[in-house]
Amino acid sequence: MNKPPRKRKKATSGASSGSEPPASSTNEDISQQVDPATATITVTAVEVPELTEEEQRDRLHLERRVERAFFEAGKALTELRDRRLYRSTHKTFEEYCRDRFGHSRQQSNYLIAAAGVYENLTTIGCQNVANENLTTNGSQILPTSERQVRPMTKLEPQEQQEVWLRAVELAGGKVPTGRIVKDAVQRIMERTKVPNTYQISEVCQILVKDNSELRGKGGCWGIVSQANEFSCTVRMWDGEYTIGLQHLKSYEYLPAECEQMRVICDRINRVYSSGLEESVQRFLESLGKLNRAYLTDLEEKVLKVLESEIRD
């Protein structure tokens, strides 16, 4: 008699046992979870130790080195220039600065002049400031960049001191920006300026005095067309310019000579503005640097030829 077939047991994996999450876990009400937006995060405070006396001294020493960086550069450039220590490799100081440091002679001059101002401020009494509000940690507030002292380079030593203290006050007892220093300089200059004595039609010579805006105009003459409070509008061979009184010097010509120069200026300007060849313009520029109130016979002939050329 045939035996009935056995029922096969269902195979199960040992790993599957207990793999189902507990009923309490799957049925947990998620509304009971903490809202992240309202959660409280506990941060452990870390105590920042105070600087030791040695660290305070080191900090002050390093800060002073940063402050004096432009001063040291200016002093070094001064010695390199005065002793001509560049002469073994370069013919001029300008070429040396460009090749060795990558900046122009003007930038070197700025640093040299700034070093002089910095040295001034540390030797004429600024370091003994009576107002405690102008000191930091008992030490003097000094310039930290060349641009901060550039506006003061043309002032007398005592004026530099006055300007710097005023600028520090305007900055709220902190190191002032170059703009604040410039404002303080302007106030002193306006206070000490003599009245403008130049007259309309007066002939003046242009004095550049390291003013980059007047580059190429040194030694040129012009006719005063407007006398302002602290400047003059001057008509020259290539147009009109507003120039500070410190950059003007009267030729003290007689009225008849001034009128003669005004006519010459108008003639030169008409030819120059016509746009002729560059060589012609160089000739006209040379007439713009005359230190006499007349043209020579040859200069007059050449100018007439040029005038006829633009008429034709």
272 vs 278: CA distance, rounded Å: 10
222 in any annotated domain: yes
Three-state helix/strand/coil letters over 237-300: CCEEEEEEHHHEEECCCCHHHHHHHHHHHHHHHHHHCCCCCHHHHHHHHHHCCCCCCCCCHHHH
Last residue of a domain, one of 161, 192, 223: 192
SS3 content of the chain, % helix, strand, coil (to 5): 50, 10, 40
Last residue of a domain, one of 192, 227, 247: 192
Could you tell me the maximum CA-CA distance found in the chain, to the nearest angstrom? 156
* pLDDT by 10-residue block (mean), the chain, 312 residues: 50 45 48 58 69 87 82 91 91 89 84 90 57 42 89 84 91 90 82 76 88 81 88 89 88 90 93 86 91 92 92 75
Asked whether residue 119 falls in the same domain as residue 175, the answer is: yes
**Please, which residues bridge with residue 236 across strands?**
239
Asked whether residue 65 falls in the same domain as residue 123, the answer is: yes
Q: Which domain holds residue 128?
A: 55-192
**What integer pLDDT is reported at residue 215 of this predicted model?**
79
80 in any annotated domain: yes
Coil, strand or helix at 236: strand
Asked whether residue 117 falls in the same domain as residue 220, the answer is: no
**Please, which residues bridge with residue 241 across strands?**
234
Last residue of a domain, one of 166, 192, 218: 192
**What integer pLDDT is reported at residue 123 of this predicted model?**
76
69 in any annotated domain: yes
Asked whether residue 59 falls in the same domain as residue 172, the answer is: yes
233 vs 224: CA distance, rounded Å: 6
Asked whether residue 61 falls in the same domain as residue 149, the answer is: yes
Asked whether residue 148 falls in the same domain as residue 61, the answer is: yes
Asked whether residue 221 falls in the same domain as residue 101, the answer is: no
Task: Output the pTM of the full model.
Answer: 0.45
How many structural domains compose the chain? Answer: 2
28 in any annotated domain: no
Residue whose C-alpha is closest to residue 96's, from 110, 81, 82, 109: 81
Return all residues near 168 (Cβ < 8 A) that are at least 6 apart: 134, 141, 174, 175, 176
Under a CB-based contact definition with an 8 Å cutoff, are residues 222 and 265 in contact?
yes
Asked whether residue 116 falls in the same domain as residue 215, the answer is: no
Under a CB-based contact definition with an 8 Å cutoff, are residues 201 and 259 in contact?
yes
Asked whether residue 119 falls in the same domain as residue 163, the answer is: yes
The amino acid at 296:
T
Rg, Å, the chain Cα set = 39
119 in any annotated domain: yes
**What integer pLDDT is reported at residue 38 of this predicted model?**
64
**What integer pLDDT is reported at residue 234 of this predicted model?**
94
98 in any annotated domain: yes
18 in any annotated domain: no
Asked whether residue 86 falls in the same domain as residue 180, the answer is: yes
3 in any annotated domain: no
**What integer pLDDT is reported at residue 189 of this predicted model?**
74
Asked whether residue 187 falls in the same domain as residue 105, the answer is: yes
**What integer pLDDT is reported at residue 168 of this predicted model?**
93
Asked whether residue 186 falls in the same domain as residue 213, the answer is: no
273 vs 283: CA distance, rounded Å: 13
